[in-house]
Amino acid sequence: MNEQEYKKLIYVIDDWYEKDPIMIEWGNGLKVKCKSFTGMCETDTEPGDDDYIGEYSAGVNEVEILQEGNDDSVEIYEASIEISLACVPKKISLEDGTVLWQREEA
């Protein structure tokens, strides 16, 4: 995933969290409805660390599972999911099906 595509994903979540619940789908089949957003934060690594990737992540909350995934690659902790480079969804849409963001195929 390129940086521009990732930034667009994060901005879509940031733009819509106060408006309507968003639907998020992952490649493993997991589909959730998210009703709130904790905000964006920088990853906990620092420049100079061996594992530094210099990215921002977004936390979505009040997650309601609409369809279970076929593996446990997306972690849901206390009805929250962190969207990051380690957990990139396939698609984000509104309840009416309007697609706000969809991952570009590699």
The beta-strand segments (E) located in 12-102 are 22-25, 31-42, 56-67, 81-83, 91-94, 99-102
Name the percent of the chain lying above pLDDT 90: 45
Q: How many CB atoms lie within 10 A of CB 6?
A: 17
Q: What pLDDT was estimated at residue 42?
A: 65
Domains: count for the chain: 1
Residue predicted with more confidence, 41 or 51:
41
Helices (H), 17-101: none
Residue predicted with more confidence, 46 or 41:
41
Q: What is the distance between the alpha carbons of residues 92 and 101, in angstroms, rounded to a whole number?
A: 5
Give pTM, 2 decimals. 0.83
Q: How many CB atoms lie within 10 A of CB 89?
A: 22
Q: What is the distance between the alpha carbons of residues 100 and 89, in angstroms, rounded to a whole number?
A: 12
pLDDT bucket at 48, cuts 50 / 70 / 90: low
Q: Report the CATH number that the domain containing residue 78 is assigned in CATH.
A: 2.30.30
Note down the domain range covering 97: 3-102
Residues 24-35 pLDDT 10s: 999 999 999 998
Over residues 54-79, mean pLDDT:
90
